[in-house]
A and B are shown apart, each in its own frame.
Chain A
Amino acid sequence: MINKMELKFSASLSNEVLARQAVIAFISPLDPSLEQIGEIKTIIAEGVSNAIIHGYELDASKDVFLKAIIDGEDLELTITDYGKGIENLEEARKPHYTTRPDLERAGMGLTIMETLSDSFAIKTLPGMGCKLVIKKKITHESVAYGTVSR
């Protein structure tokens, strides 16, 4: 069965928790492990905070869009902003690269998202925005942490 949800919220960092909790509640029927919940929260936090901080430069009059689709064990997340986009994507994807060292950003968001997901795609155009499509399987067999499988 395919199940879908969509969320649109103001580009304020105070809404990041809403984005995280909404998706966690949405996938709870799949009975994800604590590690999977943590990883999905981190993926969403990185994507949403990038949209708010970099895409919209903290302009809360703008909107961030979050979509989640579950198809069996497959979770697909789409995070979209219509902000300033990424000028040089190759540069931006490098670990430790950040355009906001003043905010003590670590430049690791894109690297973390890519590592934690099974597939990770970025579509961006300067001045047009940024769209992330992230896929992650919610399986119990993948005993990634040596925990007991159910």
Chain B
Amino acid sequence: MENKIKFTAFDEGLVIKISGELDSMKTMTYRDKIHREMIKLGPRMLLFDFKDLQFIDSSGIGLILGRFNEIDKIGGVVGITGLNDYSRKIFQITGILQIIEEYQSTAQFKKKARINL
């Protein structure tokens, strides 16, 4: 599978879909891309879609936590969706699911995130 990042904006929100492998190298380039997109759109709701994620390590966790801190500062909401057994295990080890909520789908996030704003 191809490694890629895709952005889809909605209202005040942004869906970031990361596919393939998210390693230390990719984390660095994606961080810049996400940064630019967030400057441009100023989202208050951020959803990471990992449906097609095949590999992640702690550098990817750092990337998510970094964006969580930014959005949290402005009183926004961050969510995660599309975890498989493998990625959920990595997320559970790092305790990230205790601070970032998992959603069943993008649609569910759009509905619920607004209430949590």
* Residues in chain A within 8 A of chain B (CB atoms): 13-14, 16-17, 20, 34-35, 38-39, 41-42, 45-46, 49, 53, 95, 103-109, 111-112, 115-116, 145, 147
Contacts and interface: CB of A to CB of B under 8 A. Distances in A.
Contact of B86 (A39, A107, A109): A39
A35 B94 contact: no
B95 A95 contact: yes
B61 interface: yes
Given A45-B23, A111-B93, 14 more contacts: A14-B25, A17-B23, A35-B89, A38-B87, A41-B21, A41-B55, A42-B55, A49-B24, A49-B59, A105-B59, A108-B58, A108-B94, A109-B57, A115-B93
B4 to A, nearest CB: 15
B interface, over-half SS: helix
B25 A106 contact: no
Contacts of A41: 21, 55, 57
B85 A145 contact: yes
B3 to A, nearest CB: 10
Contact of A112 (B63, B65, B94): B94
Interface residues on B, range: 20 to 34
A49 B62 contact: no
29 contacts: A16-B25, A17-B25, A20-B23, A20-B55, A34-B86, A38-B55, A38-B86, A39-B86, A41-B55, A42-B90, A45-B57, A46-B58, A49-B23, A95-B94, A95-B95, A104-B31, A104-B62, A105-B58, A105-B62, A106-B62, A106-B65, A106-B94, A108-B58, A108-B93, A108-B94, A109-B57, A109-B58, A112-B58, A116-B89
A99 B66 CA distance: 16
Nearest to A38: B86
B38 interface: no
